[in-house]
Amino acid sequence: MKENTDNQRDGFGRFKRGCRAGPGVPKGGMGNSTKLQQLRLAIVRAVSVKDLEAIVYKLVELAKDGDVRASQLLLDRVLGKPVDSPELFDRIGKVEHFLGLAS
């Protein structure tokens, strides 16, 4: 049963003194971040450096053979995902104009 928290908060939305904390993760339990950390650790332990090199070489080979998805994945990982923001392009245009680079 959910309690009404309206009377438990002050004018700024913060909890007033004396409010009980939530139950949290039970003692001996495992939160989601702990589970995720364990899964990542299992992957790191299972994949060797040679495995990773073989995967990357295969990805490069596929990209060279014209696999567009492999090319996207490779470039996103090496260069970072492209930014698609209209505000960014506006800001770049203003900087170019300021520097006298705009045509």
In a domain, 21, yes or no: no
User: For residue 21, what pLDDT band results from cuts at 50, 70 and 90?
Assistant: confident
Query: What DSSP string describes 34-74?
Result: HHHHHHHHHHHHHS-HHHHHHHHHHHHHHHHTT-HHHHHHH
Residue range 22-73, pLDDT digits in tens: 777 677 677 778 889 999 999 999 999 999 999 999 999 999 999 999 999 9
In a domain, 66, yes or no: yes
Would you say the pTM of this structure is higher than 0.75? Answer: no
The parent domain of residue 71 ranges over 55-79
User: For residue 82, what pLDDT band results from cuts at 50, 70 and 90?
Assistant: confident
Distance CA 21, CA 18 (A): 9
Give the pLDDT of residue 73: 93
Are the CB atoms for 59 and 78 separated by under 8 Å?
no
Domain tally for the chain?
1
